[in-house]
Structure 1
Amino acid sequence: MSFIVYRDFAVVADEDERCAAMVNVPFNPRTGARQWPPDGAKRVVGQRVDWPVAADEKFRRWLA
């Protein structure tokens, strides 16, 4: 896991909740491995993503 992903999860105050979220690593079908993309971690903790995909993410990006 990269430092960027650790930094994104650092905003979760409860240590048990943070560890539970970090352990639930999503599967990346492109690479065939389980890994945290930086935007995936940001989506879990509710931060604004760098590369919006969903309509609500694109709308929030447009507002900023």
Structure 2
Amino acid sequence: METRKRSILKAVIWNLIGLAMMALVGLIATGSVAVGGTMALINSAIGLTFYVVYERIWAKIGWGRTHA
């Protein structure tokens, strides 16, 4: 089982990668750094929240795990 700290750190790092990609896509799509950045921040906040919840739910599910 993962600790909460590990789950959160993984989510933050993944979201930073996603934030950079979404900002780039937003910039390309709109031509505006401000609009692209705002889109990326909103997407990252929502994504981070749901990713942490998703990971914590799966951490409690024993199905498919092996205990060596």
* Same fold by TM-score greater than 0.5: no
Higher helix share: 2
Larger radius of gyration, structure 1 or 2?
Answer: 2
When normalised by structure 2's length, the TM-score is 0.30
Higher strand share: 1
Q: Which has the higher contact order (CA 8 A, sep 6+)?
A: 2
When normalised by structure 1's length, the TM-score is 0.32
